[in-house]
């Protein structure tokens, strides 16, 4: 069950705005899969990801390493320990790598330990990451803002959260490796094209494709701040439920909306 912004390239049309005091980054993703709009903000050490005007909200407290999921429609919230989530994923990664001994396990092995050949053109900022399973073509620009490290740290934590919320999604851990490539060269992805080959590259087999575009901005508007204040008010007033209960109610809500 995918969650708008949380899906990344597989999601649809999404918008991410990140702000740290006077620095803001607006991050917009366009996918070839019909999706929803999402906005995320970084303000005073906390990130907020918001799906639509009244959709799910995710708050990430960078200091406490804690996610809070808020559903305004259901009027409930739930918390997820980010470190515990990372440990679970890393334990699963190690288990999968230890058990992946047959050829049929090759794709699963790649997902948990991705390796790419990399070609970067410094003059144009174009970056190609290639493998037998997934290819990326990325147009980049320099990203040396003081908040760049915080931004990529947030992206990495969101990959772990995505994997827990959407365990069937194969690309979430691969994007940790893509983030590493971008962070090491201090680049920001302006345009991204992804080609997925679940059975490996074969003659006459077309990949599943997704694309995205990303724009940078530098400040929050009054409407943005009011949305953050509203999210904070939801957190103060909505009852907290266990994650399993939150997930069950969230999935039921989506199923009812599709009827």
Q: Can you point out the beta strands (E) in the chain?
A: 14-20, 23-29, 38-43, 46-51, 57-61, 66-71, 76-81, 117-121, 126-130, 134-142, 187-196, 208-213
Q: How far apart are CA 198 and CA 196, in angstroms?
A: 6
Neighbours of 52 (CB within 10 A): 13
Task: Return the DSSP state at 32.
Answer: S
| Cα–Cα distance measured from residue 14 to residue 9, given in angstroms and rounded to the nearest whole number | 9
Q: What's the whole-model pTM score?
A: 0.81
Give the tens place of pLDDT for each residue, 151-177.
788 889 988 998 888 876 767 788 899
Residue-wise pLDDT for 54-85, tens only, equals 788 999 998 899 999 999 999 999 999 999 99
Whether residue 5 is predicted with pLDDT greater than 70 in this model: the reply is no
Would you give the DSSP letter of residue 185? T
């Amino acid at each position: 069950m995918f969650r708008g912004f949380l899906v990344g390239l597989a999601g649809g049309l999404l918008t991410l705005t990140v702000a740290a005091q006077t620095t803001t980054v607006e991050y917009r993703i366009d996918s070839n899969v019909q999706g929803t709009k999402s906005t995320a903000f970084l303000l005073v050490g906390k990130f907020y990801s918001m799906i639509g005007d009244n959709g799910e909200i995710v708050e990430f407290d960078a200091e406490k390493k804690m996610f809070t999921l808020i559903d305004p429609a259901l009027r409930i919230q739930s918390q997820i320990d980010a470190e515990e989530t990372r440990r679970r994923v890393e334990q699963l990664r190690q288990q999968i790598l230890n058990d992946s001994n047959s050829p049929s396990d090759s794709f699963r092995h790649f997902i948990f330990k991705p390796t790419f050949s990399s070609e970067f053109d410094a003059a144009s900022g174009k970056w190609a990451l290639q493998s037998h399973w997934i290819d990326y073509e990325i147009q980049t620009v320099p990203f040396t803002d003081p908040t760049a490290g915080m931004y990529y740290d947030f992206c990495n934590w969101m990959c772990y959260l995505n994997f827990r919320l959407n365990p069937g999604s194969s690309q979430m851990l691969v994007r940790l490796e893509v983030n590493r490539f971008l962070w090491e060269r201090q680049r920001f992805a302006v345009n991204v094209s992804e080609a997925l080959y679940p059975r490996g590259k074969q003659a006459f087999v077309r990949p599943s494709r997704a694309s995205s575009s990303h724009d940078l901005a530098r400040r929050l508007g009054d409407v943005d701040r009011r949305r953050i204040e509203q999210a904070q008010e939801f957190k103060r007033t909505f009852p907290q439920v266990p994650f399993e209960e939150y997930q069950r109610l969230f999935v039921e809500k989506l199923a009812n909306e599709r009827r």
